[in-house]
Structure 1
């Protein structure tokens, strides 16, 4: 069984539109992961609809802002969508296992894609429009030491 994707602050990138689209991805992906076989086709169709809108939105943003490495990013979107559409055809023939395998791959791919390619896009867009990188306030700070607080301001470190 693949891990269920969860929304977490580490997925925030600092662009409201992108962050909302990413949160929606997590929501629809979780719905597919949780679906029984009878619900799978319907929920997978919702995922495909989301992927089309998600990738079109980011691709349009890259073109409109002349994001330099856009072709590589857009090619990755196209490859993921192509695989997802191929799985849709297999799912229509009853291949539930292939669909569940793809979901495992997607939920593993998404955080890496988001933190590398999408974060670079968000930085580019924010710098172009606002003159700097986004400031992101995250609730789940995992970089703090779990020791006695040494090194944390106000804790004697």
Structure 2
């Protein structure tokens, strides 16, 4: 059995009075992530991890931020499309481990809903999706609430 590991990273600016979607969940906050799609930093990092593990390049290669088809699109769709590409290459997804880094809002109450959205989109068990969150201890652009960062790793295996 061939097993591969992928790593993903994403970052988005935070802007006042802008929607904040993380893990497919709309968060109530005075700032939100800005980007071409819905700027779901967590799902973008997961897409990059999956695509990278399957040697399919990155999210920007498949879903260019200059393409009007992806303007404002839900990143759940980008995740589903990424999973389709990984499966077309003959892999199944084993698990995902992700980390969010932001000062506010608190993520912990939203983790079960995020896990459910991701599990449904990917077609794996919710127990195979780990999401954690931390702050940047008020340092740097994250600490000043100018941006949000997500990291993700995944394991895929040849079917």
TM-score (norm 2): 0.27
Higher relative contact order (CA 8 A, sep 6+): 2
> How high is the TM-score relative to the length of structure 1?
0.27
More strand by proportion, 1 or 2?
2
Instruction: Give the structure with higher Rg (CA).
Output: 1
